[in-house]
Amino acid sequence: MFAKLNRDLNAIRARDPAAGNKLAAMFLYPSFQVMLAYRIANPLWKAGLKFIARFIMQLARWFTGIEIHPGATIGCGFFVDHGSGVVIGETSVVGRNVTLYQGVTLGGVLPAVDAEAQRSIKRHPTLEDDVIVGSGAQILGNITVRAGARVGGNSVVTKDVPAGATVVGVPARQLAAKPATQSKITADAPFAAYGVSNPDDVDPRGRTIAALVDEVHSLRARLNDMEDRLSASALHDEAGKPMLGDEPPLTPR
């Protein structure tokens, strides 16, 4: 447990330049405080002491504004930046070095419909290693966000996200993906905050729209050229016609 907490603490300092030293990260960051409670409550939940586990996490929620179910599975190096409003459901699975921003929800799709039948099934998402989820995003249902993926702020994700991809929008749509190995948080590839696209990323829908606009411009240019040619031809024909009174005299037979 202490090794995981140390990794959680180091994650705060590695990904937030305002964190300062470890002492500041321990006492001033709700992310560490809620993870301290979770690292205690999760083993209690697994041991069958569910009321105590829920009570500990309820206290942590009051103090931090972050709601994590003690039954969730969260790997080491986890960081919730700013924290307030984050919700992580019971059957959520979160890998290593995952970062969530404020207002993120890892929830179910229909939690209020036939709740009894959903108690024993996985109904929350899985986030693999090195995933970053922007503020206000909702990831819903038993889906998987693969390693190194980025979810843009305020996006709503209801389908699997490929490794290394960036998804944005409501519903979330995929921008160009990069290899998952390039999306891992390492010394050579440092932490890149937020689910925003890189200059090299291309939105397929935007590319299609741009191609259509170019085609319209091309057709407009061709139409203008045809109009110019028709006007020139009409002027030429008009210039070749004899003026009134200039007709040659009739020759008697």
Question: Would 27 be classed as within a structural domain?
Answer: yes
Instruction: Report d(CA 38, CA 41) in Å as an integer.
Output: 5
Could you tell me the CATH number of the domain that includes residue 110? 2.160.10.10
Count CA within 13 A, CB hemisphere, residue 99.
Answer: 29
Question: Sign of dihedral through CA atoms 187, 193, 198, 204?
Answer: positive
> 0.85 cut: is pTM over it?
no
Residue 191 · residue 99 · CB < 8 Å: yes
Question: Would 230 be classed as within a structural domain?
Answer: no
Question: Would 143 be classed as within a structural domain?
Answer: yes
Q: Of the candidates 115, 105, 112, which has an alpha carbon nearest to the alpha carbon of residue 67?
A: 105
Question: Would 44 be classed as within a structural domain?
Answer: yes
Question: Would 207 be classed as within a structural domain?
Answer: no
Residue 79 · residue 66 · CB < 8 Å: no
Other Cβ atoms less than 10 A from the Cβ of 246: the count is 7
Structure tokens at 230: 């028709």
Question: Would 100 be classed as within a structural domain?
Answer: yes
For the chain, what is the domain count? 1
Residue 78 · residue 8 · CB < 8 Å: yes
Instruction: Compute CA 98 distance to the chain's CA centroid, rounded to the nearest angstrom.
Output: 13
Instruction: Report d(CA 25, CA 12) in Å as an integer.
Output: 7
The per-residue pLDDT string of the chain (253 residues; one tens digit each, 9 = 90 and over) reads 777 787 887 788 888 878 778 888 888 888 989 999 999 999 999 999 999 999 999 999 999 999 999 999 999 889 998 888 999 999 999 999 999 999 999 998 876 666 666 677 888 999 999 999 999 999 999 999 999 999 988 899 999 999 998 898 888 888 766 655 555 555 455 445 554 545 455 566 677 888 888 889 889 888 888 888 888 777 766 666 655 555 566 666 5
Domain interval for residue 95: 2-200
Question: Would 205 be classed as within a structural domain?
Answer: no
Residue 111 · residue 121 · CB < 8 Å: no
Other Cβ atoms less than 10 A from the Cβ of 97: the count is 24
